[in-house]
Protein backbone atom coordinates (compact mmCIF):
# COMPACT_ATOMS: atom_id res chain seq x y z
CA UNK A 1 0.00 0.00 0.00
CA UNK A 2 2.90 2.37 0.67
CA UNK A 3 4.20 1.94 -2.89
CA UNK A 4 0.81 2.96 -4.27
CA UNK A 5 0.76 6.08 -2.16
CA UNK A 6 4.22 7.24 -3.22
CA UNK A 7 3.50 6.46 -6.86
CA UNK A 8 0.25 8.44 -6.54
CA UNK A 9 2.19 11.41 -5.18
CA UNK A 10 4.73 11.09 -7.97
CA UNK A 11 2.05 10.89 -10.67
CA UNK A 12 0.01 13.77 -9.25
CA UNK A 13 3.18 15.85 -8.83
CA UNK A 14 4.07 15.30 -12.49
CA UNK A 15 0.54 16.22 -13.59
CA UNK A 16 0.55 19.39 -11.47
CA UNK A 17 3.93 20.44 -12.91
CA UNK A 18 2.73 19.78 -16.47
CA UNK A 19 -0.35 21.94 -15.76
CA UNK A 20 1.91 24.84 -14.77
CA UNK A 21 1.83 24.49 -10.98
CA UNK A 22 4.96 24.64 -8.86
CA UNK A 23 6.03 23.27 -5.48
CA UNK A 24 3.39 20.53 -5.06
CA UNK A 25 2.98 19.27 -1.50
CA UNK A 26 0.87 16.39 -0.28
CA UNK A 27 -0.72 15.69 3.09
CA UNK A 28 -2.63 12.64 4.21
CA UNK A 29 -5.90 13.10 6.09
CA UNK A 30 -7.12 10.57 8.62
CA UNK A 31 -6.69 9.28 12.14
CA UNK A 32 -3.55 7.34 11.28
CA UNK A 33 -1.66 9.20 8.49
CA UNK A 34 0.13 6.07 7.23
CA UNK A 35 -3.24 4.36 6.66
CA UNK A 36 -5.22 7.39 5.50
CA UNK A 37 -7.36 7.01 2.39
CA UNK A 38 -7.50 10.72 1.59
CA UNK A 39 -4.67 12.89 0.30
CA UNK A 40 -4.73 16.69 -0.03
CA UNK A 41 -2.50 18.40 -2.60
CA UNK A 42 -1.45 22.06 -2.48
CA UNK A 43 0.57 23.83 -5.16
CA UNK A 44 1.43 27.33 -6.33
CA UNK A 45 0.46 28.74 -9.71
CA UNK A 46 3.21 31.19 -10.77
CA UNK A 47 2.06 34.53 -12.16
CA UNK A 48 2.38 34.90 -15.91
pLDDT category, 4, cuts 50, 70, 90? Answer: low
- What are the angstrom distances between the C-alpha of 41 and each of 1, 4, 22? 19, 16, 12
* pLDDT, tens digit, 9 for 90 and up, residues 14-30: 999 999 999 999 988 88
pLDDT category, 48, cuts 50, 70, 90? Answer: low
List, in sequence order, every residue forming a beta bridge with 43; answer none if it has no partner.
none
Give dist(CA 22, CA 30) in Å, integer.
25
Whether residue 32 is predicted with pLDDT greater than 50 in this model: the reply is yes
pTM score of the predicted model: 0.70
User: Average pLDDT, whole number, for the chain?
Assistant: 84
Amino acid sequence: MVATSSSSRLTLGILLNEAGFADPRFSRVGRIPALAKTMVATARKPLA
